[in-house]
Structure 1
């Protein structure tokens, strides 16, 4: 059972790496000073895109004076801060956007975000004055005063950065990575702090759970289960069969849990689509379900349909293997947890691939050293001494 113990160690180590939180530190808003000597009562380090907001709220006149600081993704890019009066997302946001115009000067204009891909320049629902912008040390700053409705205690704020300005008039579409999609929260005007949106926290947690479950199931356990079926039978027959079935059923249960979490994420993320990742996930779930049914449809070894069942079982199993690995990489591209996680998974695949090559050579050597003949070659694929066929 040494191989099984090693597999468990690999899985646990990989889960620890995925669960180990990573933090990136940048300068704090408390260290930032403005050349025009403007001072503000509060400042907050916003949780995404390395952005900061300095602000003072006067409840007597419902006036919010602010300075929003961010780094555009490119020097000719743009930054944006806005208020969403109708929800917590980006759609419906009343935005202040700063960018370089055709004269290479920094301007601030007001836009309404009607959809993820549609913005309209025009006056906002809130009266905005004293708008100006500056660019220094690769960072842009938006200064403005916003007149808020009387009695407002908190507001839904949305911020964003982009890399392109179209014709010097309109900001281009921003990236749709997790950092961009999560750049929103509530600004508590009374307590002087930014409050993360509860739904966004839940979505971030579900995304991590979804990723971990699917990496462990389709990306780690399922390939290990196939290796157990193909190579362990030569050494521990018939124990390999029960270990293999246990491994693959566990992989399926974990994978279904990950798939269900993905469905929940989809319902929480209206307007956000990862089509190829979703399509691969649906195909993977369907094939894996067929593979589980193979356990109940498996004919006896002597049955005339056993040959066709073997073809079906092996074909679907390797199909699940390929789809699972591809979708793990697509999920890593979406989550963007850091290049080292992708590298860690590539190293894992390389290790089990190397082990598979070694075991393949050893297995064929053992089989061919026995009494020569077609029956011995068949044992490699059909189980020795009439044992059961693997569930791969």
Structure 2
């Protein structure tokens, strides 16, 4: 299961990115041949609305959703029940706010923009609008740990959340390119900034995977642990130690 969880995000990227890049190159070639006659410049009002739309989608799928994923991953090694509940509630709150922002962006795009769905940005956006509520709704029906449906629920919730986050990130890049074509404004700075942000998120995602392993290796302190290991501590002593741990 852990191997599958690590491979699925990269599989999505490997499958989707080549098609996006090739299609984008074809679109650029067509635009160059026609002199961009089919892409008239947006009015100042539409430019402002497109900017707000992009900010809403970035705040939701480019920031809040990845941060929510990082926060819930912190609960894997959390033993204090109070802190565990806090992490779960923060994760849920971030995801709910993210869904609401995406919904607001969807309403804005349907109301104000021409939706011909003839490019990747609009098609991906339509798919995201259709499934954005599923992980949130599934999250409210979380089975108790140890029940039969817990594994199925966890995998479904995880795969939907991961797919949405990856598709949202890809759609932000396609949205920046669409904004550039429509407004003739450079988006290089925003693309670089967003790439740096996503790189940090990916780094922390991978770092979380190895943090416990690094601690066990004694790399943080530079020395091997001198105290007894978990295997050497009796269950009674371990239970007493956890009960005394401040939360």
Q: Fold-level match, TM-score > 0.5?
A: yes
What is residue 181 of structure 1 aligned with on the other side? 41
Task: List 4+ stretches of structure 1 deviating above 3 A.
Answer: 363-372
Q: How many Å separate the matches in 2 of 1:367 and 1:227? A: 21
Q: Using the TM superposition, give the Cα deviation of residue 361 of structure 1 relative to its aligned residue in structure 2, in angstroms.
A: 1.0
- Indicate how the Cα distance of structure 1 residues 257 and 370 shifts in structure 2: closer, same or farther if over 3 A, else same: farther
What is residue 103 of structure 2 aligned with on the other side? 256
> 1:315-373, CA deviations, whole angstroms, 9 ceiling, x for partnerless residues?
1111111111110000010112420110000010111222222222113456897559x
What is residue 211 of structure 1 aligned with on the other side? 54
Cα RMSD between the aligned structures? 2.6
Q: How many Å separate the matches in 2 of 1:243 and 1:163? A: 47
Q: How many Å separate the matches in 1 of 2:139 and 2:102? A: 18
Q: Using the TM superposition, give the Cα deviation of residue 241 of structure 1 relative to its aligned residue in structure 2, in angstroms.
A: 0.7
Q: Using the TM superposition, give the Cα deviation of residue 255 of structure 1 relative to its aligned residue in structure 2, in angstroms.
A: 1.2
Establish whether residue 347 from structure 1 lines up as the match of residue 196 from structure 2. yes
Establish whether residue 237 from structure 1 lines up as the match of residue 67 from structure 2. no
For structure 2, the residue ranges without an aligned partner over 5 or more in a row are 1-30, 181-185, 218-228, 233-247
Q: How many Å separate the matches in 2 of 1:218 and 1:274? A: 22
For structure 1, the residue ranges without an aligned partner over 5 or more in a row are 1-161, 165-171, 183-199, 373-392
> 1:98-145, CA deviations, whole angstroms, 9 ceiling, x for partnerless residues?
xxxxxxxxxxxxxxxxxxxxxxxxxxxxxxxxxxxxxxxxxxxxxxxx
Q: TM-score scaled by structure 1?
A: 0.42
What is residue 296 of structure 1 aligned with on the other side? 140
- Indicate how the Cα distance of structure 1 residues 366 and 285 shifts in structure 2: closer, same or farther if over 3 A, else same: farther
What is residue 67 of structure 2 aligned with on the other side? 224
- Indicate how the Cα distance of structure 1 residues 229 and 335 shifts in structure 2: closer, same or farther if over 3 A, else same: same
Is the Cα contact below 8 Å between 1:233 and 1:239 reproduced in 2? no
Q: Between Structure 1 and Structure 2, how many residues are aligned? A: 182
Is the Cα contact below 8 Å between 2:106 and 2:129 reproduced in 1? yes
Q: How many Å separate the matches in 1 of 2:216 and 2:140? A: 29
- Indicate how the Cα distance of structure 1 residues 353 and 280 shifts in structure 2: closer, same or farther if over 3 A, else same: same
Is the Cα contact below 8 Å between 2:73 and 2:208 reproduced in 1? no
Establish whether residue 324 from structure 1 lines up as the match of residue 186 from structure 2. no
Establish whether residue 358 from structure 1 lines up as the match of residue 218 from structure 2. no
Q: How many Å separate the matches in 2 of 1:239 and 1:254? A: 22
Report the 3-state secondary structure (helix = DSSP H, G, I; strand = E; otherwise coil) of the residue aligned with 2:189: helix
Structure with a larger share of its residues in strand: 1
Q: How many Å separate the matches in 2 of 1:302 and 1:203? A: 52
> 1:69-108, CA deviations, whole angstroms, 9 ceiling, x for partnerless residues?
xxxxxxxxxxxxxxxxxxxxxxxxxxxxxxxxxxxxxxxx
Is the Cα contact below 8 Å between 2:65 and 2:94 reproduced in 1? yes
- Indicate how the Cα distance of structure 1 residues 239 and 296 shifts in structure 2: closer, same or farther if over 3 A, else same: closer
Q: How many Å separate the matches in 1 of 2:50 and 2:157? A: 32
Q: How many Å separate the matches in 2 of 1:311 and 1:163? A: 45
- Indicate how the Cα distance of structure 1 residues 361 and 239 shifts in structure 2: closer, same or farther if over 3 A, else same: same
Q: Using the TM superposition, give the Cα deviation of residue 289 of structure 1 relative to its aligned residue in structure 2, in angstroms.
A: 0.9
Q: How many Å separate the matches in 1 of 2:112 and 2:35? A: 23
The structure with the larger Rg is 1
Q: How many Å separate the matches in 2 of 1:338 and 1:175? A: 21
